[in-house]
Amino acid sequence: MSEVQTVDNMVTISIDGVEYKAKEGEYILNAARANDVFIPAICYLTRCSPTLACRLCLVEADGKQVYACNTKVKDGMSVTVDTPNILEERRAMMEVYDVNHPLQCGVCDQSGECELQNYTLEMQVDSQTYAIKDTERHTANWSSVLHYDAGLCIVCERCTTVCKDMIGDSALKTTKRGGDKLDKSLKDSMPKDAYAMWNKLQKSIIAPSNGTGSTDCSDCGECIAVCPVGALVSRDFQYTTNAWDLKRIPAVSAHSSDGFAIYYETKPRSISDRREKIFRVTNEWNFVSLDGSARFGYDFENEDVTKDEKAFANAVEALKKAETIRFNSVISNEEALMLQTLKEKLGVKLYNPEVRPFQKFLKLYSEASGKSLYNSDSTKAMKCDFVVSVGGALRNDSPGLKYAFNNIQKMNKGAGLYFHPVGDKLIPTFGKNVEMFIHKAGLEEASLYLLLDLFADKSKLPADVKDYIESFENGKLIDMLGGDSEKFMAGFDKMMKKKEKFVLMVGEDYYGHPKAENLAKLIVLLEETAGFEVVMNPPKSNALGVALICDLDDEATGYTVGYNENGDFRLSALGDGDLDLPAFNQQEGTVTTLSKRVVPTNVAIDYGGYVLNDLMAELVDAPRLTIDWTPYLPTDKGYKSVAFDDLANSFDNAGNDNRGYLLDVTTKEVELPSVEKFDENATLEGDIVYRCNPPRQFSDFSDKAHQIFEAFGLYASEERAKELGSKVEVVFENGSIEVDVVVDKKMEGNIVALSDFKSAQNVYELFGESRYATVTIREV
């Protein structure tokens, strides 16, 4: 359980005469679900706001008919799920839903996993009382991945709700359907709620909210996941298979550091080719929302690999003479432990430019705070009501934290501050109380000082810090960070109204920052004096696991073996190396997620070649299987000695994540750190390039997936892209790179973003540790 259930925040309600405990302030529906009581509902999504589109969750609470999805529990409340009147209403509703619903269940991609079918049967609809002229409804492709069949849509609005309340893209809305008006006489003759529902249904249909025929969104596909019928499907998946043929394999998304729980759904790819293929990725959409890379970036497996003994022998030789092993964060905890073992036994250097700054920053942070790790996570963050994001391009770097940021605004009546040198037009749309500061690169410390100024309990602050903050008068800090101090201060009180829980999301910019130590100390200060919870975004995939398990080195020297990276000898799961290794969907193991959870992932696709463990067995000593390493993950870093097969992998009905286990976080009492002042003039000037991937792209693996279309390039706002032209050469101090310019309509300002997901391009070398670099950009 993520949250300790105490007696004082629990109330007792009775549902159909049985007493249950429920959290105070929870909706009846959620309380019932948490207690395994079934109340029918189509439109409601846990973690999103009630839409009241389906009205099926009608129940009787204390003698009054209410909707279970938007009525909060009260102590002693007595709920009846089925009364004769409610049963009549529900049946009428399902009859209405069945009016003009095409009878193409045979070809529909929902193939039986259909809530319309389920509830129609549940309500025992065996005859139809209602009829109305059908409206012509067209199918449409909304984006490169979304296919919408309006004919099948029952307008439950789950897609619009999830897009708005969880994803934050708000790319969908209901629009006019142009259906016939209902016969007036029905108002009296048919059940009241069913009539109201039908009335609304006849008027609306789903469409992209920008008024065009295509959605302007991050293509996360969450709308596909939540669709109760077959109206929204992935274009790639459509009509290719039936759901019942697919084998579900619980796994962890390989791309972002969120470690989303996913199911790979596989089946043999064709009649003649019986190799398993992943047809789609699904998720427990009530409890976890995926980003586009997790949902569509699944086919990165290393295909048709056999045991190449010669290559294996070469690899053993290469590792024996290697001075450095270079790798990235797309690696399981077990593999990271193997590499660490190699370092200990063979003395090789471990070079990982993706994770090294993060590892150093974590160390700085724990030294300053006395805590071994940050104390919040994405689930906890979602329960806060004031969120501050610093040092990260939230939309690109961390879909999970972006969802949390957005969800706080929508569900908790929250407020948010977003500090970043690169403007993002999407962030302010999350809510009215979101303020975005587009500050100059280099002023990161200033943003933390501003936060101290705004939130800290001044009496707790060290005197020098207090004085230093007070030296900035009249909102000078705000202005310095690109805000409008008068306007901001006028609105700030409103933002702060009734706010109790604060969370700080720290992004990757800070890790490689020249003043990282000071930043870490300032964060600790914020935590201690302003009551902020802190969550950090590990750069990618299993970066946290690597940071905790491996003892990384600062540079690569001599003969280098690259694991999915450049090197003199390449071990690769991408199919282009000197020795093939399994990709993430071909191996089992554990991943350490952003939420400090160690979660298991399983094999979706067979792999016939050598694995890293075979090399280990040859070089040092290794147990039989990769997963035999799991219990030996370092316990001093918070890992537990649990065998892989003993790890749970599920959510409970209340939505608690029971996958794997949480890392132990140790706390030491330490004094408040002493912080340095910042240098106002340390800002970067001139053409600035920011190392940042487009949404949905994280690594070579996401790039390999055929449904991830975002290109490697220089991303720029529309205006900036016009200035730059179509192809440019970006000249760094230590090299240059030629890239295409890609427009990102949601970017703001002059800073351009250079992708780093292609390891072959070696972008990390160009940037060094910092994510910002001053460059010369020349059109080619």
Partner 1 sequence: MSLEQFKNRNVGTQNYVKLDLDHTPTSGWCQFKQVVKRTFKPELFVGLWVTLREMINALFRGKMHTTQYPFEKLPISPRYRAIHDMLRLLESGHYRCIGCGLCEKICIANCITMETRYDENQRKEVSEYTINFGRCIFCGYCAEVCPELAIVHGQRYETASEQRASFSLFEDMLTPIDQLNLQQEYQGFGAVSPNADENIKKTPLAY
Cβ proximity to partner 1: between 1 and 244 the closer is 244
Distance between CA atoms of 410 and 168, rounded to whole angstroms? 9
- Find out whether 323 and 595 touch, Cβ atoms under 8 Å: no
- Ranges within 260-279 binding partner 1 (CB under 8 A): 268, 270-271
Question: Closest distance between partner 1 and the C-beta of residue 229, in Å?
Answer: 16
Does 242 engage in binding with partner 1 (CB under 8 A)? yes
Q: What's the rounded Cα separation, in Å, for the pair 422 and 327? A: 28
Q: Dihedrals φ, ψ of 79, to 5°?
A: -115, 135
**According to the binding rule CB under 8 A, does residue 681 interact with partner 1?**
no
Rounded least distance, CB 343 to partner 1, Å: 48
Alpha-carbon gap, residue 312 to 302, rounded angstroms: 16
Q: Contact 585/297 with Cβ under 8 angstroms?
A: no
Residue 353 DSSP symbol:
T
Whole-number minimum distance, CB 245 to partner 1, in Å?
7
Q: Of 99-107, 490-498, 526-534, 634-642, which part binds partner 1 (CB under 8 A)?
A: 99-107
Residue 707: count other Cβ atoms within 10 Å of its Cβ: 22
Rounded distance between C-alpha atoms, residue 360 and residue 365, angstroms: 9
- Residue 42 C-beta: closest distance to partner 1, Å: 24
Instruction: Extract the tokens encoding 307.
Output: 């045991």
To partner 1, the closest distance from the beta carbon of 241 in angstroms equals: 7
- Are 773 and 688 spatial neighbours (Cβ–Cβ below 8 Å)? yes
Among 199, 238, 566, 658, binds partner 1 (CB under 8 A): 238
Q: Which residues contact 586 (CB under 8 A, 6 or more apart)?
A: 301, 302, 573, 603, 604, 605, 606, 607
Find the part of the chain contacting partner 1 (CB under 8 A) among 237-245, 279-287, 468-476, 606-614.
237-245
Q: Does 144 bind partner 1 (CB under 8 A)?
A: no
Shortest distance in whole angstroms from residue 708 CB to partner 1: 20
Using CB under 8 A as the binding rule, whether residue 38 contacts partner 1 is answered as no
Among 49, 65, 240, 375, binds partner 1 (CB under 8 A): 240
Total number of residues binding partner 1 (CB under 8 A)? 16
HEC per residue, 76-106: CCEEECCCHHHHHHHHHHHHHHHCCCCCCCC
Shortest distance, position 106 Cβ to partner 1, whole Å? 3
Span 567-606, contacts to partner 1 by CB under 8 A = none
Which of the ranges 89-97, 102-110, 543-551, 628-636 carries the binding residues for partner 1, by CB under 8 A? 102-110
The three-state secondary structure class of 4 is: coil
Minimum CB distance to partner 1, residue 205 (Å): 18
- Which of 173, 235, 425, 499 forms a contact with partner 1 (CB under 8 A)? 235
Tokens describing residue 138: 């067209």
- Do 738 and 766 contact (CB within 8 A), yes or no? no
Taking CB under 8 A as the criterion, the residue among 16, 24, 134, 245 binding partner 1 is 245
Q: Closer CB to partner 1, residue 114 or residue 689? A: 114
Torsion over CA: 200, 201, 203, 204 (sign): positive
Residues with Cβ < 8 Å from 516, sequence gap 6 or more?
357, 360, 361, 364, 510
Q: Report how far residue 186's alpha carbon sits from residue 262's, in angstroms, rounded to the nearest whole number.
A: 45
Least distance CB 273 / partner 1 (angstroms): 10
Spatial contact of 486 and 462, defined as CB atoms under 8 Å apart:
no
Between 8 and 244, CB nearer to partner 1: 244
Site membership for partner 1, residue 63 (CB under 8 A): no
Among 51, 215, 241, 412, interactor with partner 1 by CB under 8 A: 241
Q: Among residues 105 and 682, whose Cβ is nearest to partner 1?
A: 105
Residue (236 or 323) nearer to partner 1, CB: 236
Residue 111 or 429: which CB sits closer to partner 1? 111
Distances from the Cα of 550 to the Cα of 342, 484, 569, angstroms = 10, 44, 21
- Comparing CB distances to partner 1, the nearer of 110 and 293 is 110
The residue (of 110 and 289) whose beta carbon lies closer to partner 1 is 110
For residue 283, which phi and psi values (nearest 5 degrees)? -145, 165
Reduce the DSSP state of residue 107 to 3 states and report it. Answer: coil
239 binding partner 1? (CB under 8 A): yes
Nearer to partner 1, 270 or 306 (CB): 270
Question: Which residue lies nearer to partner 1 by CB, 241 or 697?
Answer: 241
Q: How far is the CB of 491 from partner 1 (least distance, A)?
A: 50
Q: Please identify, using beta-carbon distances, which residue of 18 and 107 lies nearer to partner 1.
A: 107
> Of 152 and 305, which CB lies nearer to partner 1 in the complex structure?
152
CB closer to partner 1, 276 vs 445: 276
Scanning 19-27, 234-242, 462-470, 677-685 for contacts with partner 1 by CB under 8 A, the matching segment is: 234-242
**598: DSSP letter:** E
The Cα-based distances of 731 to 151, 186, 688, 776 in angstroms read 53, 71, 11, 5
Q: What is the largest CA-CA distance in the chain?
A: 87
Among 1, 136, 244, 636, binds partner 1 (CB under 8 A): 244
Residue 110 or 170: the one with the smaller Cβ distance to partner 1 is 110
Closest CA to 340 of 545, 536, 542: 545
63 — alpha (psi -120 to 50), left (phi > 0) or beta? left
| Pairing verdict, β 64-67 and 58-61 | antiparallel
Judged by CB under 8 A, which stretch of 223-231, 233-241, 249-257, 312-320 contacts partner 1? Answer: 233-241
- Tell me the three-class secondary structure of 558-588, residue by residue: CCEEEECCCCCEEEECCCCCCEECCCHHHCC
Q: Report if residue 106 touches partner 1, rule: CB under 8 A.
A: yes
Among 85, 111, 118, 135, the residue binding partner 1 under the rule CB under 8 A is 111
Interface of this chain with partner 1, residues 153 to 192, rule: CB under 8 A: none
How near is the Cβ of 145 to partner 1 at its closest, in Å? 13
**Dist. CA 433–CA 420, nearest whole Å:** 17
CA distance 275 to 264: 15
What are the Cα distances from residue 569, in Å, to 316, 329, 510, 615, 766? Answer: 10, 18, 32, 14, 21
Least distance to partner 1 from the beta carbon of 240, Å?
A: 6
Taking the least distance from each CB to partner 1, the nearer of 245 and 467 is 245
Smallest distance from the beta carbon of 665 to partner 1, in angstroms? Answer: 48
Judged by CB under 8 A, the residue of 18, 107, 121, 313 near partner 1 is 107
In angstroms, the CA 535 to CA 551 distance is 22
Among 14, 139, 212, 474, binds partner 1 (CB under 8 A): 139
Q: Could you report how far apart the first and last alpha carbons of the chain are, in Å?
A: 56
- Report the interface residues with partner 1, using CB under 8 A: 105-107, 111, 139, 235, 238-242, 244-245, 268, 270-271
